[in-house]
Amino acid sequence: MRARDVNKVAKGQQAPRPVHETGTVSKPPPPSSTDHQFETEERAKANAIADEIRHCYARFRHYHRCLEEKGKDSECEKIKKDYKSSCPSEWIEKWHEENVVRSR
């Protein structure tokens, strides 16, 4: 209680606040209010996957640009090892097919 409230109570001008009863804590929020946390986690996972795809594709394109500029017998093999080791083969196959179709 603030000091001025204590003074009013002492003078009989204001009733004292009721004492807090044990066990009267408010109920926890319903489960639906915690759904936001799960949505955020799902969004974070999706963003991480999208970032991985973006980085892999950038390495794949870097390798093909290197081949176009320097030819097959160059330092492009190092770039090829890099993207092949970090990207799933399904993605590489799909991008390769798209690249072949685009170059026709």
Chunked into runs of 10 residues, the chain (104 residues) has average pLDDT values of 64 66 68 65 88 92 89 82 89 86 67
Tokens 């492009």 correspond to: 76
In degrees and rounded to multiples of 5, residue 37 shows phi and psi of -60, -45
Residue among 98, 82, 100 nearest 90 (CA): 98
Report the distance separating Cα 97 and Cα 104, nearest Å: 11
Which of helix, strand or coil describes residue 25?
A: coil
User: What pLDDT shows up at residue 79?
Assistant: 87
Closest alpha carbon to 1 in 11, 12, 16 = 16
pLDDT of residue 36: 65
